[in-house]
Amino acid sequence: MIPRVTVLATLHVVQGAEKRLGNVHDPMYVALLKKLMISEGIDFIFEEASGLGPTIAEKLALEQLPFGHYQDIDPARADRPDLGIPSNSSEPNMIGEPPSVAFANWQLLDVHAKREELWLQRMQQHEFKSALVICGLVHLLSFAFRLQEAKFSVQAINYANWQRNPL
């Protein structure tokens, strides 16, 4: 049987990583995680938490899955250089002038690719029938395609409750 992977891409602020600043409590995100765990028969959770957890998903895994069925697959920024990956994967650019400013992030594709390759390697070290992978929105399609190429059955979901979590 081909392992199934549900890629859930969202805003990092809703993941609830305890060591991350600026989190937003979104009960609909929690409801979505619980719904996916049941409807997809999730038996492993992988997450781009970058060493900032525990996260909401990690806590759910500890409550509902066997021990060891959660993994933060993304290295902390400080650990990335030891793995040959630059610490930063985007370059913020300020648009406008104070007090009216916004930021646009230039994404560094080579850095994201290296991170996603590491994520895939880390996932392949585990056995599962149906996994949930939680990542940031910028990874949704690229990582889903990478998983398909690795012969997983993949579905991709994006979640952003813009009314609760405006950017």
- In tens digits, the chain (167 residues) has pLDDT values of 899 999 999 999 999 999 999 999 999 999 999 999 999 999 999 999 999 999 999 999 999 999 999 999 999 999 999 999 999 999 999 999 999 999 999 999 999 999 999 999 999 999 999 999 999 999 999 999 999 999 999 999 999 986 654 44
Q: Model-level pTM?
A: 0.94
Is the N-terminal amide bond of 54 cis, ω within 30° of 0? yes
Distance of alpha carbon 87 from alpha carbon 19, whole angstroms? 17
Contact 134, 158 (CB under 8 A): no
> What are the boundaries of each domain within the chain?
4-159
Distance of alpha carbon 70 from alpha carbon 59, whole angstroms? 9
How far CA 166 is from CA of 150, 161, 162, 163, in Å, comes to: 35, 8, 5, 6
Q: Where are the alpha helices (DSSP H) in 84-135?
A: 109-123
Sign of CA dihedral 49, 51, 54, 58: positive
DSSP structural state of residue 79: G
